[in-house]
């Protein structure tokens, strides 16, 4: 019976770092305060799926783990796409509450379970599942050509591209983030099953990531696998979300949506690790330990891109990552980064196979292109990284209860 | 929920039902609305759990129930009707069945209370009388003869296929395969509920449709792979006739013989023909358009034509009665059928066994949308026939 499957009486809590000192009270049913979030994990915390603004998993302070997957549509029928988005929406609404999407052990012995069961009693673990729609959704095949978000298109070729076809593209994306990796994995696994059962979509590429590599509001800045803080100057304030992330001047069903760009970026870890630290600092333009810009003493000091050494050379070199990426040097342009570290063990050449699952959100994919064109051409970091895969999606807003993701795009035509 | 309290609940339901008014009747069919909500851990709310004997139309709407994706009408575990892929926001779906007096169950897996009683008062619906009812009843007899003929044809064709396999003649077996299988595609909707004696309806080992036509994508590991598509794999993928292939062919012949005997005992109601036709078109959409049905041999267009022919025949036997009920409506369906037939004609190729081109990835890429749209245009009106003929006087 379904009541047996619920976690409601379970309070599985874990604490990391300073949370043990924070004296956090009873588990909050929904998003905790920023102070609570700092370096703590409360596995009973949950974020609602339904809403009247953006989908969860974008502004949401990054959880500890991600399972990201893209899908190719396998059906040419509009109704199949509709049914899939409706079934995904219902299932995600269940999953974020820590509940099953259906029977794990059906009454009929010959039946297979609706829910695969591996997340039973793990709690919601702050799970969010964010759904994206790729450019090929908006074609005549589904009668959706006229609904295409104005700026959605394949990215143009950028200087850093070294894509493998099997790690690139997709018609749908699912970004599941949670503080328990098994909760994130279970969500994607069961949603992929629905895609198969309905005959609508097939899996394309996926990355299982850990150790968030971009800070959200109220979070200490985490580190990427190169050992540097990542996301010190990330978008955190609501005003910046309004300006750079959300679609505002758009049809109803798109408003508060955003464009999602995902890149699988491999790192040459062994080369990096043997590199002298002064060079590593020059590559980023920051000090490794403190995260301070080379022109300052504390992480959040504003970089001084003009400051020179005694010999007249720039303290933050011309090719430093933060100089090329800084909004001051890009006409104020900013994007939200929500990346994760990944590892896939050891590659065929005996190197650690690891890197960054870069994910960004912006209200115009061209913002990413502008920044990446610059970085891809001149960034000192390029010696240590390769962009293996890429995909772009439109992420519609959250549906209100009783509706489903992107229902509005089916209303016309 | 403990089993005891579930039983208590089922027993209590008919008592409570007496206080309820019977479902309203529109155009001769009781109208029952079932609304799925997320309230109280998931609820399946039946507006009228009591209806008069006769045709009953269930209209199912998922308002906010994120945990419920399907619903079934059962009579002592026999599924009389069901709807899948329910989710909040999707349009209301309906199904119509003719029910005699008695207690039935509405099964909502995932709801807090998964099974609820549904009570039908009065006797079983009388056989439709009067002119339209008589015409439709005649039509069902004609359709029964058609099904008998198709299955008899299949018995012969399967015997030819088996002979070729027994002789180890791969080329001949490959030619016989699509011809034998096409018979099944014409009447497969009628085989859905057949269970061999001594087996439960839920055990695939006794499920005739499973044993004859299961595809690789839906195998029950306990029962294993049998029937046409297991043979298809041997003939078109491994390209070998083995003892296993001969065993499969012998089994298939045995099961087709069972089917032949079974279908001769069947009586059909007019709505059975309508639902069967709709099911065949669903088959086209779900497994032929995608090329999933014949993933080794690519004879999907032969099956496509078989499904369409079976649906067209079921419709044709209803046509005389249906024209008297709603002529314009009948003409619309005739037009859609004609368009589908014309489109199918463009794929004919007498040189290919089965008479249609192979469904290559090129054809699929170029034409799948065109094919599915043509069927969709037929499916919509066709799905409305059942209620019309079930309620005919």
Taking only the tens place, the pLDDT of each residue in A246-258 is: 999 999 999 999 9
A126-130, A163-167, A212-216, A340-344, range with the lowest pLDDT: A212-216
pLDDT number for residue B192: 74
Task: Identify which of A222, A215, A256 has the alpha carbon closest to the alpha carbon of residue A236.
Answer: A215
Q: Tell me the three-class secondary structure of chain A, residue by residue.
A: CHHHHCCCCCCCCECCCCHHHHCCCCCCCCCCCHHHHCCCECCCCCCCCCCCCCCCCCCCCCCCEEEEEEEEECCCCHHHHHHHHHHHHHHHHHHCCCCCCCCCCCCCCCCCCCCCCCCCCCCCCCCEEEEEECHHHCCHHHCCHHHCCCCCCCCCCCCCECCCHHHCCCCEEEEEEECCHHHHHHHHHHHHHHHHHCCCEEEEEEEEEEEECCCCCCCCCCECCCCCECCCCCCCCHHHHHHHHCCCCCCHHHCCCEEEEEEEEEECHHHHHCCCHHHHHHHHCECCCCCCECCCCCCCCCCCCCCECCCCCECCCCCCHHHHHCHHHCCCCCCEECCEEEEEEECCCCCEEEEEEEEEEECCHHHHHHHHHHHHHHCHHHHHEEEEEEEEEEECCCCCCCCCCCHHHHCCC
pLDDT number for residue A163: 94
CA dihedral (B162, B168, B174, B175) positive or negative? negative
Asked whether the beta carbons of A256 and A54 are under 8 A apart, the reply is yes
Res A412 pLDDT > 70: no
pLDDT number for residue A38: 52
Which of A402, A407, A408, A413 should be substituted to probe chain B, the one whose Cβ sees the most B Cβ atoms within 10 Å? A402
Where helices occur in chain B by DSSP H, the ranges are: 3-17, 130-166, 170-191, 208-213, 228-236, 243-264, 270-283, 300-325, 327-345, 361-382, 385-390
Between CA A224 and CA A234 the distance in angstroms is 14
CB contact (8 A) between residue A90 and residue B285: no
Q: Tell me the three-class secondary structure of B152-192, residue by residue.
A: HHHHHHHHHHHHHHHCCCHHHHHHHHHHHHHHHHHHHHHHC
**Mean pLDDT along residues B350-362:** 93
The chain B residue lying nearest A109, using CA atoms, is: B202
Beta bridge partners of A260: A361, A393
pLDDT number for residue A112: 65
CB contact (8 A) between residue B88 and residue A403: yes
Between CA B26 and CA B391 the distance in angstroms is 9
Tokens 């104020």, located at residue: A332
Residues of chain B with Cβ-Cβ distance to A86 below 8 Å are 85, 87-90
* Rg of chain B taking only CA atoms, in angstroms: 22
pLDDT number for residue A384: 94
List, for residues B97-115, the tens digit of each pLDDT value.
888 899 999 999 889 999 9
pTM value? 0.65
The chain B residue lying nearest A3, using CA atoms, is: B112
Please report which confidence band the pLDDT of residue B336 belongs to, taking 50, 70 and 90 as the band edges: confident
Res A110 pLDDT > 60: no
**Mean pLDDT along residues B348-370:** 91
Task: Identify which of B345, B342, B341 has the alpha carbon closest to the alpha carbon of residue B311.
Answer: B341
Of the CA atoms within 13 Å of residue B85, those in its CB half-sphere come to: 19
3-class secondary-structure state, position B319? helix
CB contact (8 A) between residue A401 and residue B112: no
In angstroms, the separation between the Cα of residue A27 and the nearest Cα of chain B is: 21
**Mean pLDDT along residues A319-346:** 96
List, for residues A270-315, the tens digit of each pLDDT value.
999 999 999 999 999 999 999 999 999 999 999 999 999 999 999 9
Residues of chain A with Cβ-Cβ distance to B67 below 8 Å are 2, 90, 94, 99-102
β-pairing, A65-73 vs A128-133, is: unpaired
3-class secondary-structure state, position B310? helix
pLDDT number for residue A108: 60
Between CA B392 and CA B204 the distance in angstroms is 36
Residues of chain A with Cβ-Cβ distance to B74 below 8 Å are none
Asked whether the beta carbons of B85 and B69 are under 8 A apart, the reply is yes
Res A5 pLDDT > 70: no
List, for residues A9-19, the tens digit of each pLDDT value.
333 443 333 33
Residue A199 — left, alpha, or beta (φ > 0 → left; ψ -120 to 50 → alpha)? left
CB contact (8 A) between residue A114 and residue B69: yes
In angstroms, the separation between the Cα of residue A199 and the nearest Cα of chain B is: 8
Asked whether the beta carbons of B86 and B68 are under 8 A apart, the reply is yes
Between CA B17 and CA B8 the distance in angstroms is 14
**Mean pLDDT along residues B148-176:** 95
pLDDT number for residue A371: 96
Residues of chain A with Cβ-Cβ distance to B115 below 8 Å are none
**Mean pLDDT along residues A103-110:** 71
CB contact (8 A) between residue A402 and residue B63: yes
Among B41, B63, B89, the residue with its CB nearest the CB of A407 is: B89
β-pairing, A258-267 vs A65-73, is: unpaired
Please tell me what DSSP assigns to residue B379: H
B373 vs B374, more confident: B374
Tokens 């909707």, located at residue: B189
Among A77, A111, A114, the residue with its CB nearest the CB of B285 is: A77
Between CA A345 and CA B172 the distance in angstroms is 51
Among B204, B286, B292, the residue with its CB nearest the CB of A110 is: B204
Domain boundaries, chain A: 65-411
Tokens 């893209």, located at residue: A70
**Mean pLDDT along residues B167-187:** 95
3-class secondary-structure state, position B279? helix
User: Chain-wide mean pLDDT for chain B?
Assistant: 87
Asked whether the beta carbons of A341 and A359 are under 8 A apart, the reply is no
* Rg of chain A taking only CA atoms, in angstroms: 22
List, for residues B199-247, the tens digit of each pLDDT value.
888 888 999 999 999 988 778 888 999 999 999 999 999 999 999 999 9
Q: A249 to each of A133, A253, A404, how far by Cα in Å? A: 19, 11, 22
Between CA B371 and CA B363 the distance in angstroms is 10
Which of B3, B38, B90, B366 should be substituted to probe chain A, the one whose Cβ sees the most A Cβ atoms within 10 Å? B90
**Mean pLDDT along residues B334-353:** 91
Measure the N-to-C terminal CA separation of chain B; round to a whole number of Å: 44
Highest mean pLDDT among A4-8, A86-90, B9-13: A86-90
CB contact (8 A) between residue B110 and residue A103: yes
Please report which confidence band the pLDDT of residue B45 belongs to, taking 50, 70 and 90 as the band edges: very high
Res B151 pLDDT > 60: yes
The percentage of residues in chain B with a pLDDT greater than 90, rounded to a whole number, is 58
Among A1, A79, A110, the residue with its CB nearest the CB of B202 is: A110
CB contact (8 A) between residue B204 and residue A2: no
Among A79, A94, A107, the residue with its CB nearest the CB of B67 is: A94
Res B186 pLDDT > 80: yes
B284 vs B35, more confident: B35
CA B83 to chain centre: 12
β-pairing, B29-37 vs B78-83, is: unpaired
Residues of chain A with Cβ-Cβ distance to B292 below 8 Å are 199
β-pairing, A172-178 vs A128-133, is: antiparallel
pLDDT number for residue B308: 95
Beta bridge partners of B51: B120
Of the CA atoms within 13 Å of residue A179, those in its CB half-sphere come to: 23
List, for residues A31-68, the tens digit of each pLDDT value.
444 444 456 789 999 999 999 999 999 999 999 999 99
List, for residues A349-361, the tens digit of each pLDDT value.
899 999 999 999 9
β-pairing, B50-52 vs B115-121, is: parallel
**Mean pLDDT along residues B328-336:** 81
The percentage of residues in chain A with a pLDDT greater than 70, rounded to a whole number, is 88
Which residues of A, range 115-144, sit inside 8 Å of B by Cβ? 141
The chain A residue lying nearest B62, using CA atoms, is: A402
pLDDT number for residue B228: 97
Between CA A311 and CA A317 the distance in angstroms is 13
List, for residues A188-211, the tens digit of each pLDDT value.
999 998 887 776 888 899 999 999
Residues of chain A with Cβ-Cβ distance to B290 below 8 Å are 74-75, 199
User: Chain-wide mean pLDDT for chain A?
Assistant: 89
């Amino acid at each position: 019976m379904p009541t047996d499957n619920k976690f409601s009486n379970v309070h599985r809590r874990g604490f990391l770092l300073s949370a043990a000192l924070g004296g956090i009270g009873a588990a909050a049913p929904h998003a905790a305060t920023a102070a609570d979030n700092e370096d703590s994990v409360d596995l009973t915390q949950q974020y609602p799926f339904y809403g009247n603004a953006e989908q969860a998993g974008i502004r949401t302070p990054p959880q500890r783990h991600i399972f990201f997957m893209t899908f190719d549509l396998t059906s040419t029928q509009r109704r199949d796409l509709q049914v899939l988005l409706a079934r995904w929406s219902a299932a995600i609404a269940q999953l974020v509450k820590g509940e099953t999407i259906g029977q794990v052990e059906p009454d009929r012995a010959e039946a297979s379970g609706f829910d695969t069961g591996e997340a039973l009693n793990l709690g919601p673990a702050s799970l969010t599942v964010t759904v994206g729609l790729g450019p090929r959704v908006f074609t005549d095949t589904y009668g959706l050509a006229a609904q295409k978000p104005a700026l959605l298109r394949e990215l143009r070729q950028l200087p850093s591209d070294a894509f493998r076809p099997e790690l690139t593209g997709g018609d749908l994306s699912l970004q599941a983030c949670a503080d328990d990796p098994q909760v994130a994995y279970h969500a994607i696994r069961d949603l992929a099953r629905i895609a198969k059962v309905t005959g609508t979509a097939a899996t394309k590429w996926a990355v299982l990531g850990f150790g968030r590599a971009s800070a959200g509001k109220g979070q200490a800045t985490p580190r990427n696998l190169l050992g540097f803080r990542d996301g010190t100057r990330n978008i955190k304030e609501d005003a910046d979300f309004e300006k750079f992330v959300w679609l505002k001047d758009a049809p109803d069903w798109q408003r508060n949506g955003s464009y999602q760009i995902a890149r699988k970026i491999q790192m040459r870890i062994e080369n990096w690790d043997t590199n002298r630290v002064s060079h590593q600092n020059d590559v980023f333009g920051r000090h490794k330990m403190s995260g301070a810009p080379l022109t300052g003493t504390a992480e959040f000091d504003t970089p001084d891109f003009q400051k020179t050494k005694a010999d007249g050379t720039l303290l933050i070199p011309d090719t430093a990552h933060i100089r090329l990426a800084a909004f001051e040097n890009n006409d104020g342009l900013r994007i939200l980064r929500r990346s994760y570290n990944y590892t896939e063990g050891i590659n065929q050449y005996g190197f650690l196979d690891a890197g960054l699952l870069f994910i960004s959100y912006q209200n115009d994919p061209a913002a990413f292109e502008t920044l990446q064109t610059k970085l891809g051409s001149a960034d000192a970091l390029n010696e240590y990284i390769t962009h293996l895969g890429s995909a772009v999606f439109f992420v519609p807003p959250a549906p209100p209860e009783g509706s489903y993701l992107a229902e509005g795009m089916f209303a016309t035509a | 929920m403990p089993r005891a309290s579930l039983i208590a609940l089922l027993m209590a339901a008919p008592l409570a039902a007496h206080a309820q008014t019977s479902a309203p009747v529109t155009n001769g069919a009781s109208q029952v609305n079932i609304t799925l909500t997320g309230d109280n851990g998931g609820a399946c709310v039946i507006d009228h759990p009591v209806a008069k004997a006769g045709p009953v139309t269930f209209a199912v709407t998922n308002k906010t129930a994120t945990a419920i994706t399907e619903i079934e009408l059962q009579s002592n575990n026999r599924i009389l009707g069901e709807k899948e892929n329910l989710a909040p926001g999707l349009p209301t779906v309906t199904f119509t069945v003719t029910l005699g007096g008695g207690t039935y169950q509405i099964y909502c897996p995932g709801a807090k209370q998964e099974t609820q009683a549904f009570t039908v008062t009065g006797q079983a619906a009388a056989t439709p009388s009067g002119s339209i009812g008589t015409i439709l009843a005649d039509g069902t007899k004609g359709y029964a003869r058609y099904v008998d003929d198709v299955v008899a044809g299949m018995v012969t064709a399967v015997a030819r296929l088996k002979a070729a396999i027994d002789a180890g003649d791969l080329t001949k077996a490959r030619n016989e395969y699509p011809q034998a299988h096409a018979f099944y595609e014409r009447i497969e909707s009628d085989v859905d509920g057949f269970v061999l004696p001594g087996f439960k309806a839920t055990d695939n080992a006794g499920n005739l449709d499973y044993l004859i036509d299961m595809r690789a994508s839906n195998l029950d590991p306990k029962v294993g792979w049998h029937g046409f598509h297991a043979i298809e794999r041997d003939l078109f993928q491994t390209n070998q006739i083995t003892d296993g292939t001969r065993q499969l062919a012998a089994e298939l012949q045995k099961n087709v013989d069972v089917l032949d005997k079974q279908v001769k005992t069947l009586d059909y109601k007019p709505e059975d023909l309508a639902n069967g036709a709709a099911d065949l078109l669903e088959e086209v959409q779900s497994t032929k358009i995608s090329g999933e049905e014949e993933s080794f041999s690519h004879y999907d267009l032969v099956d496509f034509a078989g499904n369409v022919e079976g649906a067209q025949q079921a419709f044709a036997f209803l046509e005389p009665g249906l024209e008297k009920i709603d002529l314009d409506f009948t003409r619309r369906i005739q037009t859609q059928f004609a368009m589908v037939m014309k489109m199918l004609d463009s794929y004919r190729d007498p040189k290919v066994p089965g008479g249609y081109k192979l469904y290559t990835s090129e054809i699929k890429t170029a034409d799948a949308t065109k094919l599915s749209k043509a069927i969709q245009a037929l499916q919509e009106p066709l799905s409305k026939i059942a209620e019309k003929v079930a309620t005919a006087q």
